[in-house]
Structures are given as structure tokens and as C-alpha cells.
Structure 1
Amino acid sequence: MFEVVRFCYKGELLPSTDPESMRVKIIANNIIDALKRGLNKENVRSEALLRALTKKKGNCHLKSQPYMSHVDGLNWEILVAKGPVKAFCLPGKIVVFTGMMEIEADYIGLILLASAGYDPRAAPKLYKKFQRITGDSTIFSTHPSGNKRAEFLAQTQKFLPIGPLMSNDNNNGKKTQLA
């Protein structure tokens, strides 16, 4: 897959020795290292739970495990294209620019909006307005157009349980807690 991506962008990629490519690689490595150092997944979520466990089991010390351990050993590859927005990092050497991840993120966003009590039916209008503002700018070419996103979101409205998600209780208009 990685070789296919490299082939598709042939002629548009900067060599790995180019200063911009080297800069992107340094930044990506710094971010990955910082995440490995800084993100720890605690086995114990609260001081109260730790006290309860140590009271029952005596003096026990619970360790943190690195949250980023799943990326250890990956051969990170960096490709930088000559365009203004086409710099990307490939963990595990996989990149797909189908736009489906953005569409899926839009759909999840609709569910979250509805869960928070907002009307997700406004989202397609937002993307149509976004398309009018940005036009066919290549700066957003890694994402589907605003019109395409609006069209997809309008279709997904049929599948969202909007009523139950947006319901309010009669307690001073407070939003209903959702499971």
C-alpha cells in the first residue's frame, strides 16, 4: 500500500533529504516522543480507589503503562509533497485520501450534536455555506467538498434518532442525560 501511495504522488514528493522533509520528520518524531513520554494510562483512576486498594492489600504500588505502546516498533515514514497542504506522516505506512474518514467524522459529529441537544439538521446548511465561502480552493483538497459533505449529511438525517437524542426533560429545560 505504501509503495502505491509513493507511486501515485511520484513527481510531487520532495526527497527525504530536502530541508522541508527533514523539518517535518523532526517535528513528527518530537511529537511522537512527547506522546510516549507524556501519555500514561493509569491502572488506578482515582486517589480514593488507590486508598481503598492499598487499605485492603497493604502497601501496593500500581504502575502506569504507556498509552502509546501500540506504536512501538512502527517504522514511521514521512512524505512531503510540493503542494501547500500535502504534508503527511504515515504510521505503519498507510495513507488513504478517500475522504471517507472525514465523512465518518461528520456523521459522528452529528450524533454528538444531537446528544448535546443541538439540532444536527443544521449541519448540511453549514457545509453549503462553507462551500460558497471557500469555492473550489485546492487548499481543502484532502477533504470532500462542502457540497458533497452537505449532501451526505442530509442523507444520513434519515438514520439518526434525532427525536430521542434531542429530547429535554421538564426540569427547567435541562437536557436529558443520555446513556
Structure 2
Amino acid sequence: VVIVGGVVVTICYGTFETVPYTNRRHFVVLTHSGELKLGESQFDNEKKELGDKVLAPSHPDSVRVNSIAAEIIGAAGRSLAGHEDDKLLDGETCADDTALSPKKKAPRGASQAMIKHLDGFKWEVIVVDNKQVNAMCAPGGKIIVYTGLLDKFNTDAEIATVLGHEVAHAIARHAAEKLTKHMWIFMLTVFLLIFIDAPDLIDKLTEYLLGLPFSRKMEIEADHIGIMLLASAGFDPRIAPKVYEKLGKVGGNSSPLKEYMSTHPCSKKRTQLLLDAKVMDKAMALYTEARARKEEIDQ
């Protein structure tokens, strides 16, 4: 019943979409409106739990983070809706071809379809008084930044790198894709339990063989999209690899075994992928263009 029900839901509501910047095709069941409602609910619950730890909008940290976030969000809307057809949808992959391997060139005009879901976004950024060196973005553009991140990263470009990564998750609809993936994993688990009466073993196998590798690929994709957003906003993309190096030191560089058991790839791998010539050259081209645009506006 579970498997048949899942297939019915998939047929009725599932859609194939193309992820901006990487051109990866992915399948999602959650509708755009459903994703927005999910993000709103998560964000509202989080704010209630945080209470007075949420800094006032007039607080200097809130003002600063919102200003940087506005640059990233503005760059996302501008670059994705503008000239992406010619310069970004070229069928290239990011450096980690095992994680992202689009094979076909995206059709002209595809960028509008890719970012249609952004129309309903109500971007909101809050800063929380907490020592966590972290940030997050719920579906629909709801961003939370912890003051611990601001303590470790002093420059606007470093903060923009982290914000670019979080915004990338929302742009790529990773939350909706993750929900879809978990639905498939759940159906597979139910199927296996018919033949193998070992629920704990099956849970561990599906987690380590399917769940965690998928999560790490999403983080790699968010890194890739994030550095493009960073560059499009006029921040030097060469700072991004350094940020992930620094994050690795803050969290403690993990061993291969710990990485295999983690939702995130190790900082060394993330740094190497961003330094790949295909990625950095594209980011530097966007950065040069953004700088030229800003100089033209200033004049």
C-alpha cells in the first residue's frame, strides 16, 4: 500500500526541473506553494523558540547581514533572469562530475522556467545571538544567521560566501528534493522489510548508502551555485575556498571515515572543487562583469 501510494503521489504531483547554474535535472514531488508553506511554518516555529535571542532589525549586526544578503539575493535575481541563457547554461558541469553530471545543453529561455519558483519567495533575514558558527535558509528564502559566524568571519566577503551557499539551497530547491528522496528511501525500506526482518540494519544501510551521500552532493552543489552568486554580487570569489578552509579548522578537519558518516563533505574537498579551473574561471568572469557594472553605476 505504501509503495503503490508513493507511486501514485509521484505520478500526480512530481515534476522534473533543472537546477540553475549546474543544469542538473532533478525530480521533486513538493509543489512550489507547498514548499513556501513549509518554509514559512519552519521559520515561524524557529523564531518562536528563539524568542528574544533574535536581534532587533536595527541592531548593527542585523543591518550589516541584511545588507550583504540583499546583495546576494539581488545578484541571484539579476543573473539568473538575465543573460544566463548565453553565458551560464552551457552544459558544463561543476568540478565534481560524480555529484553533478548534466549531459545536455539547456535550451534557450530555460532560465525563466528554472527560477519560476523564486517569484513567490518572501526573503527574510534574522540574526540570532548564539555562538554557533552557522547559518541556514529555509524554503522560501527564510535566512537565519548566528552571531558565532560573525565572530569567526570578519569581512563582508566571507559572510557573503556563507550567505551565497545558503541562498543556493533555496534556489536549487534542495529541501523539496530532499523530501522527495526521503520518500523514495522510505518506500525502499518498506520493500526490504518484506524480505529482511532487520529494521535497524536496513535503516543504517539506507542512511549510509543513500541518505548521507545525497546530502553531501547537495552541499557540493550549493557551494558551486553559491560561489557564482558571490561573484555576481561583486565579491571576490577567490575568498570562498579560504572560507571553507577556515570552516574546516573551526569544526575540526574530519577523517575519511567521519566524512562518510557526515551530511557535509570535508572542507579539503570543498576547497579543491571551488579552486577547480572550470569553476573559478567562470566565477571570475562573473566577478569582472559585476565590478564593471558597479563602476558604470558609480560614474
TM-score (structure 2 length as normaliser): 0.27
User: Which has the greater radius of gyration?
Assistant: 1
Say which structure is richer in helix: 2
